[in-house]
């Protein structure tokens, strides 16, 4: 994805870490599905501390919808907190994927 579009909308990058009961509950598949539906690129993986980490790029409105999904999580998950940071998209991803993490989890 290019860091901009033909309509002039700048793409942004969301880096988020989700804590709570978020591993072994299908969280990564849930995030990847939402991100793909929203046309985002990036990755999601399990963190070594029991968290789930996500990096996504796309239009701000779509990233906000992904952030709302991260705050909810799939059934069976319990989201305690979502830390986030926003930067300019790098355009380094061509799709959204489930990356290797600390543990297979799901």
Give 17's Cβ-side CA count (13 Å radius). 8
CA distances from 60 to 19, 29, 40, 63, 86 (A): 23, 22, 10, 5, 9
Instruction: Identify the active-site residue in 13, 34, 45, 46.
Output: 46
To the query of whether residue 84 is one of the catalytic residues in this protein, the response is no
Return the sign of the alpha-carbon dihedral for residues 75, 16, 7, 2: negative
Instruction: Identify the active-site residue in 28, 34, 45, 59.
Output: 28
To the query of whether residue 46 is one of the catalytic residues in this protein, the response is yes
Active-site residue list: 28, 46
């Amino acid at each position: 994805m290019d860091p901009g579009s033909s309509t002039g909308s700048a793409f942004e990058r969301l880096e988020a870490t989700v804590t709570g009961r978020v591993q072994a509950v299908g969280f990564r598949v849930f995030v990847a599905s939402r991100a793909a539906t929203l046309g985002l690129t990036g990755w999601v993986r399990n963190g070594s501390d029991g968290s789930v980490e996500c990096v996504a790029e796309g239009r701000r409105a779509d990233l906000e919808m992904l952030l709302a999904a991260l705050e909810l999580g799939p059934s069976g998950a319990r989201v305690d907190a979502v830390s986030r940071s926003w930067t300019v998209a790098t355009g380094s991803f061509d799709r959204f994927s489930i990356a290797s993490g600390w543990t297979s989890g799901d």
